[in-house]
Structure 1
């Protein structure tokens, strides 16, 4: 019996190893508490009445911790339920300055950009598109990229966020590292416009163990792995350093190896065989010296 698996996952045990590995490696939604909370707040922004002074959200936390997936899943779900797109995701470009910032928005709105680097022209194009498309939510992923320029450019970006609420009834959502929180809260005027949803590293607690149990139920291996067992759970936590992206990579890699080897369960020895190096240790000299 495969009682450790979710009901919709059990039929995959009858498929080939290749099919199971493809299923294991496919991206999957992890509906943990913070992700659910963020979706609820985004839904409230989407359904709010018109306002002259809109409020927005900040999703702030370390890299590889699921912030982008939270935003993109919400945007995709919105597209599935509407004829008019009201949620747009902007991948904030690397590189300082307003030219890069406006270019990010134009690219997200699928507008031709051309070779012009005229800031005024790009700003006019952005305004025209916002007036035409009438988005309700603009999600700026990796927003910290827009905060690395000259102070006058950063202030212009923040002024843009204020203006789109007043002029176009748009709620901005900012996703990024702690620098986003610092810049927004540097002044009371900006701080009053944004609600924080923190996406911190996971702690070794009951919620983390529950997360591992949910993973186990979603991975079509014939034998139970007991991922929430103390020694195995602590090993995964240690290697992942509490980052959900790393947790997913470790568990997925171990599950694929178990399917290929015929072990059909994840073990501490199997994870050791991955020779997985935590993010914080990848720049250390011994690992680098081995590349020479």
Structure 2
């Protein structure tokens, strides 16, 4: 549509919505297949395409907090949903995602997988019973790839629990009836938590989602953000050096922070009727950088 070349075609109709609904759309995160995330996504897709094998290929994704790893895993699971099988009582679940809680134990991992599969279990069930249920149900639903987010939380478990959890994950690939590939995701240094199991670690290809720097990829990302924000006037986020550098600096290289900055500025642009993001708009939003928030937390006195 003439006059809205700065927007993605799917965004243009949103301009007809009331301001409140446009603001709701602005605040809703959308999937953007930016350059650095395409390779790990393609590698994950390959795990589904290759035949089951004795030593399944695995992937480890490392990224700073709020820099896209969880979004990547969630998107991959969404893109490969359960498939109904009329001739069987259980759907095919090719991709399953779990998130390791703080201080995970092997029993919690078993319970988390069963919960995600929708399989009931007795609260008093023993480890061996839970493990049998996990293996049996993963085989029934034909899971090919297990996504494990927040891998770094393994560091908060004791050495015995950590080693037991890693041994179980390795066994999912070794079980002849399963041969499941793993995708681990965690903060930088997540590999350290797997070093006690070198047989498992050497089966992983590693991808790192690094902090963003100014450059073509970052400018394309800003342009993609702008294309999805239903503002009537162009902001030139990817072309305006001052605006781009301001967002990069305040967001400290983290994609989740960029979205927060841009979305809050877009909300203000709608509320004021300016309909575009400028340096003045950015200066007026309520926003604290990650390092500022950390300082504020560190300054909180300890409880007596």
Q: What pairs up with 1:1-292 in 2 under 5 angstroms?
A: 1-79=3-81, 84-116=92-124, 118-167=126-175, 168-185=178-195, 188-228=198-238, 229-285=240-296
Asked if structure 1 preserves the Cα contact closer than 8 Å seen for 2:61 and 2:206, the reply is yes
**Structure 2 CA distance, aligned partners of 1:49 and 1:245?**
36
After superposition, the Cα gap between the structure-2 partners of 1:116 and 1:144, relative to the gap in structure 1 and judged at 3 Å, is: farther
**Alignment correspondent of 2:88:** none
**Structure 1 CA distance, aligned partners of 2:123 and 2:83?**
36
Which ranges in structure 2 are unaligned for 5 or more consecutive residues?
86-91
Over the aligned positions, Cα root-mean-square deviation in angstroms equals 2.1
Which stretch of the first structure deviates more once superposed, 181-190 or 20-29?
181-190
TM-score, normalized by length of structure 2?
Answer: 0.88
**Structure 1 CA distance, aligned partners of 2:289 and 2:106?**
36
SS of alignment partner, residue 129 of structure 1? helix
SS of alignment partner, residue 294 of structure 2? coil
Asked if structure 2 preserves the Cα contact closer than 8 Å seen for 1:96 and 1:147, the reply is no
Residue by residue, what CA displacement relative to the aligned partner does 1:38-90 show, whole Å, maximum 9, x if unpaired?
A: 22111110011121111211111111111111111111111177752210011
Displacement after TM superposition at 1:124 (Å): 2.4
Alignment coverage as a number of residue pairs: 289
After superposition, the Cα gap between the structure-2 partners of 1:240 and 1:114, relative to the gap in structure 1 and judged at 3 Å, is: farther
Residue by residue, what CA displacement relative to the aligned partner does 1:25-45 show, whole Å, maximum 9, x if unpaired?
A: 222011111222122111110
**Structure 1 CA distance, aligned partners of 2:216 and 2:69?**
21
**Structure 2 CA distance, aligned partners of 1:140 and 1:284?**
30
**Structure 2 CA distance, aligned partners of 1:147 and 1:112?**
29
Which ranges in structure 1 are unaligned for 5 or more consecutive residues?
none
Asked if structure 2 preserves the Cα contact closer than 8 Å seen for 1:212 and 1:227, the reply is yes
After superposition, the Cα gap between the structure-2 partners of 1:285 and 1:176, relative to the gap in structure 1 and judged at 3 Å, is: closer
TM-score, normalized by length of structure 1?
Answer: 0.91
Asked if structure 2 preserves the Cα contact closer than 8 Å seen for 1:57 and 1:172, the reply is yes
Displacement after TM superposition at 1:284 (Å): 2.4
After superposition, the Cα gap between the structure-2 partners of 1:231 and 1:170, relative to the gap in structure 1 and judged at 3 Å, is: same
After superposition, the Cα gap between the structure-2 partners of 1:114 and 1:81, relative to the gap in structure 1 and judged at 3 Å, is: closer
Asked if structure 2 preserves the Cα contact closer than 8 Å seen for 1:93 and 1:104, the reply is no
